[in-house]
A and B are shown apart, each in its own frame.
Chain A
Amino acid sequence: MSAVVAEHDHHHDDHDHGPAKGILRWIITTNHKDIGTLYLLFALAMFFVGGSMAMIIRAELFEPGMQFVDPQFFNSMTTMHALVMVFGAVMPAFVGLANWMIPMMIGAPDMALPRMNNMSFWLLVAGVLMLASTLFMEGGAPAGGWTLYPPLVLQTGKAFPFAVFSVHLLGISSIMGAINIIATILNMRAPAMTLMKMPLFVWTWLITGFLLIAIMPVFAGAVTMLLTDKFFHTSFFDAAGGGDPVLYQHIFWFFGHPEVYVMILPTFGVASTIIPVFARKPLFGYSSMVYATASIAFLSFIVWAHHMFTVGMPLAGELYFMYATMLIAIPTGVKVFNWTATMWKGSMTFETPMLFSIAFVVLFTLGGFTGLMMSIAPVDFQYHDTYFIVAHFHYTLVPASIFILMAAGYYWLPKWTGHMYNEKIGQLHFWLSTISVNILFFPQHFLGLAGMPRRIPDYAIQFADWNMISSIGGFIFGASQLLFLYIVIDTIRGGTGEKVTDEVWEDAHKHGLEWTLPSPVPYHTFTTPPTVIPTEHI
């Protein structure tokens, strides 16, 4: 396999092929690896910014009564924590992985549209900067929840138009990134890399790209109507003028439900890439994985109103959205079954990436089951807007998306840097994270079932115990992530000093093209397409 490593002959133009010097390298780069690094580092920074906001939330909720912040700021924190984590951390981290890995996984020299690739990253920074600037404005940052429901959100102060335009910038950035990824996958594959031989990560991103292009304009349209309702006298969400505030919720969740799958589908892709390598078996049911991903993506467009069961929909709507939502459990179940079957009788080893992946399979399934509970419209009336929903979506995001991002970091860092990370600290990070994330979120199920509402800075005395336990878990989880920061920096600077091989993980070169390349990866790879591709993942 290593015989097909691309020769790095520079034959077709006489441009300087090395990176530019100094800071300028990062500003004007068109290299997919540079841009991938920028995305990943930016996402990591935002993970800590969003995480700090979560720490403020958990500190305030440590005990009943008001301790540290005023309610307005508390609500700003819940809103901004969500927006920063969704648009600043999780999505950019997966786009960063896509940038780094997709060209290397399909045998392409770079992304299809390198200049636009640069612009999508910087638009992301612009959007997040604009969002963060609202924290310092008169009236505070948006505090009506990340869903920006009217009429509440229209009471936002000076921050309001900035929040709307930051959504526009983030949307343009995401659409550009998605177009680039789709064009790369469909147009830049090595001739031998047929669609049904692509690694699952590439497949999930192809489908995620489609989701992004379909939904980001919808969100842009929704916030544009908020803007005109506030400043230009329109009546879209005002019943007095014939509009309807519930309309906003429909539009938002038409965006919002596929949006949460934008964060989970690439997660599935990375898990499907990592698990076979450490189980030393091909992925079980490759084609069913592809079809399950496509099914989940399709279903994501027709289930949105399960976020609004209590809003007062006609009965037919409640029933339709209930049954449609339950359908999602089928393709998702296929996936969980396949991951488990991949590990069945495998020669498993438990390095950090595999540990995080296994924890993902277990804990994501738990989050999925609570999702299934909430799909049942009549019982959702009890769960709606309580900590039960908070527990549910954090189980599908933290020990799922975030854990898999950690796994991806441990899995590919040696390939990117040429250095091995410290396995001992990695495993410590894993165990601390896994234990604390359950201390953090599991009690929130009980709180929610007992009736504790979400988005409140103070609560009745009967919720005190579980909140304190949850906060303790939160603080341990937050502190544990500093270990990851340490490992990333340490690995970039040399790690354990152990020289990693090209394949890094035993027989990984049978699973993906990226492991046929040298470690660390050269600045340009596959300038001529590889002729043979590994097929162990199929």
Chain B
Amino acid sequence: MSTNDAYYIPHKATWPIVGTAGLMIMLAGVANFLNGSPIGTTMIYVGLLMFIVMLGGWFALQSVESETGMYNHGVGISYRMGMMWFIFSEIMFFAVFFGTLWYTRNLSVPWLGGEGAKAATQQILWPAFEATWPTNGPGKVGGEFEPMGAWGLPFLNTLILLTSGVTCTWAHHGLLAKKRDQLIKGLLATVGLGFLFVAFQAIEYHEAYTEMGLTLGSGIYGSTFFMLTGFHGFHVCVGAIILSVVLFRSWKGHFQPENHFAFEAAAWYWHFVDVVWLGLFIFVYLM
């Protein structure tokens, strides 16, 4: 527990209201866009811009405060707790989609196929439907498609992400040993591998849409496939951007062995994204 003596309490914060307004305008913009209202796109751009400005301003403020020694040990603990609980909330978010995949594969699709007490359901609704996986359901929603295999790009991406976890840890060792060169090289590799992953995933999606007939609309298989991998890909992007900021700060000479919360938080987030991918590779691609 910290001694509260020098716990830094900021007075007056202007970025939160900017961020809130930006987020609200952006989401209202998306809603308007979905409703076919012409003002939607403009609102999305305005809101997004405000949100990005807020992120830049807020993080710049925090890094200046951190580098000028305003955060004591207690503040560091609060930040670490904050990050851990945030990652826990992210785990629960992904759990919903993993749970959906589990439920549909093990319960609802077999039920549609007449398993257990649901034989009558099948006879009445879709007597011709056979429960298999992958499936786009008895209505063959989205038409014929080819499921995504595991051993091409996805496997390559697994190796890429696992390697990036290693380079991230290598960079951390560099930071702890005051080897600035190793820190920067390690981070460069991590960020590079992260964006390479995203690029390969973009290629994979392109193939799915243009050659395999696999889309977000391909029944429950397409829905769960793109929802899980899509949200994961989005998190890889976010993680890579966070790591880029940490890289930039490392270049500027920030972080000491005893004070580098931003690096730790980014690394934790990156490992979290890594673990989610392993789950995806097993449950979405392999099984």
Contact = CB atoms under 8 A, between A and B. Distances in A.
Contact of A232 (B8, B93, B125, B217): B217
B237 interface: no
Nearest to A120: B16
Contact of A225 (B4, B86, B227): B227
A246 B224 CA distance: 16
A108 B223 contact: no
A123 B21 CA distance: 8
A238 interface: yes
Contacts, number: 233
Contacts of A243: 104, 108, 137, 219-220, 223
B209 interface: no
Contacts of A113: 78-79, 82
B94 to A, nearest CB: 8
B109 interface: yes
B92 A130 contact: no
Contacts of B70: 13
Interface in B120-148: 125, 135-139, 141-142
Contacts of B142: 233, 241
A244 B108 contact: yes
Contact of B12 (A20, A119, A247): A20
B103 to A, nearest CB: 5
B2 to A, nearest CB: 6
Interface string A171-215: 010010011101110111111000000000000000000000111
Contact of B93 (A17, A122, A221): A221
A529 B109 CA distance: 59
Contacts of B174: none
Contact of B88 (A213, A218, A227, A234): A213
Majority SS at the chain A contact face: helix
B16 A213 contact: no
A28 interface: yes
A126 interface: yes
B85 A182 contact: yes
A235 B92 contact: no
Interface in B201-221: 215-217, 219-221
Majority SS at the chain B contact face: helix
B1 interface: yes
B247 interface: no
A130 B27 contact: yes
Given A213-B88, A236-B100, A241-B137, A190 B220 contact: no
Given A115-B16, A183-B81, A235-B136, A216 B1 contact: no
B255 to A, nearest CB: 21
B196 interface: no
A123 B23 contact: yes
Interface residues of A, number: 82
B4 A235 contact: no
B191 interface: no
A169 B81 CA distance: 22
Interface stretch (B30-38, B155-163, B271-279): B30-38
A233 B82 contact: no
Given A115-B13, A528-B5, A236 B223 contact: yes
Nearest to A28: B12
Nearest to A184: B78
Using C-beta atoms within 8 Å of the partner chain, give the interface range for chain B: 35 or more
Interface in A94-130: 108-110, 112-116, 118-119, 122-123, 125-126, 129-130
A61 interface: no
A239 interface: yes
B14 A244 contact: no
A12 interface: yes
Contact of B217 (A109, A191, A233, A529): A233
Contacts of A118: 13, 16-17
24 contacts: A109-B7, A115-B10, A119-B16, A122-B20, A125-B20, A126-B23, A126-B24, A130-B27, A130-B28, A162-B28, A179-B89, A214-B88, A217-B92, A225-B96, A232-B216, A235-B136, A236-B223, A239-B112, A241-B137, A242-B138, A243-B223, A244-B111, A251-B99, A314-B117
Interface of A: 12-13, 15-17, 20, 27-31, 108-110, 112-116, 118-119, 122-123, 125-126, 129-130, 158, 161-162, 164-165, 168-169, 172, 175, 178-180, 182-184, 186-191, 213-218, 220-222, 225, 227-228, 231-236, 238-244, 246-247, 250-251, 314, 526-529
